A and B are shown apart, each in its own frame.
Chain A
Amino acid sequence: MSLKVTEMGLSSRFKTRELAEIAVCTAMLFGAQVALASLPNIEVVTLLIMLYTHWFKRRTLLIIYVFAILEGVFYGFGFWWFGYLYVWTVLWAAVTLLGKKPRTSLFWAVLGGTFGLLFGFFYTFIYLVAGGPATAFAWWIAGIPWDIVHCIGNFTLILILYRLLDRLYWKLKK
């Protein structure tokens, strides 16, 4: 009986700690997005969501959707916002699928770069629904130079910071 109580106590403490971690990480994600908002398509959201997916697995979805709501509250629930409901989940799914075996920083940098390059393409789905294929295609084409900036930014930041932040997290967690 006493063992069960101890186990419950540990489990409850663990959950509280993990919840606190998730809350802090969500705040960091939102804060980092707002801080870098003035730099067009240079962001650390991709990097952080990739790391969170490794750290928190399925619970990352909670971070993603709280982040999406915070973005909507802060910037307004405009048309763009609907893209946030699936675009980060695509990244989460890709990292979950590909992260089943150990990968190098370079691998994750290439994945992040590819995600940045396809970001506009993923977003076309809401324009496909709203304006049809011609509008979606024109919108995607217009944004390609910025998708390339996004790709280079993601690739560089992930290559430099991925391993560093991952090590820092596990060091702090001990």
Chain B
Amino acid sequence: MENKKSAKKILIPVAALAVAVALLLGLWWWVSPKGTAGDKHITITVTYEDGKQEDYTVGTDAEYLKEAADSVLTIEGEKTEYGFAVYTINDVTADFNKGNTYWAIYINGEYGNYSIDQQPVTDGDTYAFVFESY
């Protein structure tokens, strides 16, 4: 009887934690953005600190923005636990880890919420990289 009680005491919190892990994993899988295969024609723009803008028209079969952007831009950054963090575009650095500037991503003028390796590419969309500060 006593053994049963202590086994319950061990199992219940561990099982609760395992259920929480499973629920979060399910939420992540369900909510995470998913790319689609096929040809797309998109526009990529880069706006630098001085306001100078460069536009690129890109034909691509990439599912996510990083692959499409890599075909026309020189992008440096690092893979983090929250996706690929962009620090440098075409030799211009805006690294939020070292200062108060960063490369913001806009999709059709709306602020993007995903990193470039998680942002799905959709035919006809415009993706803007903008040098910003906070």
Instruction: Spell out A's residues near B (CB within 8 Å).
Output: 40-41, 75-76, 78-80, 106-107, 110, 113-114, 117, 130-131, 134-135, 137-139, 141-148, 151-152, 155
Contact = CB atoms under 8 A, between A and B. Distances in A.
A131 B118 CA distance: 18
A118 to B, nearest CB: 9
Nearest to B96: A79
Interface of B: 10, 13-14, 16-17, 20-21, 24-25, 27-28, 31-32, 81-83, 96-99, 102, 111, 113-115, 118, 134
Please report whether the interface of chain B is mostly helix, strand, loop or mixed according to DSSP.
mixed
Nearest to B32: A141
A78 B97 contact: yes
Contacts of A141: 27-28, 31-32
B82 A142 contact: yes
A113 B82 contact: no
Contact of A142 (B96, B98, B118): B118
B113 A139 contact: yes
A80 B81 CA distance: 13
Please report whether the interface of chain A is mostly helix, strand, loop or mixed according to DSSP.
helix
B27 A144 contact: yes
Nearest to A148: B21
Contacts of A106: 10, 13-14
A47 B44 CA distance: 46
B81 A75 contact: no
B121 to A, nearest CB: 17
Given A139-B113, A142-B82, A148-B21, 13 more contacts: A40-B81, A41-B81, A106-B13, A107-B13, A110-B16, A114-B20, A117-B24, A142-B81, A142-B83, A143-B82, A144-B24, A144-B27, A147-B24
Nearest to B30: A141
A134 B25 contact: no
Contacts of B16: 110
Nearest to B115: A142
Contacts of B114: 138, 142
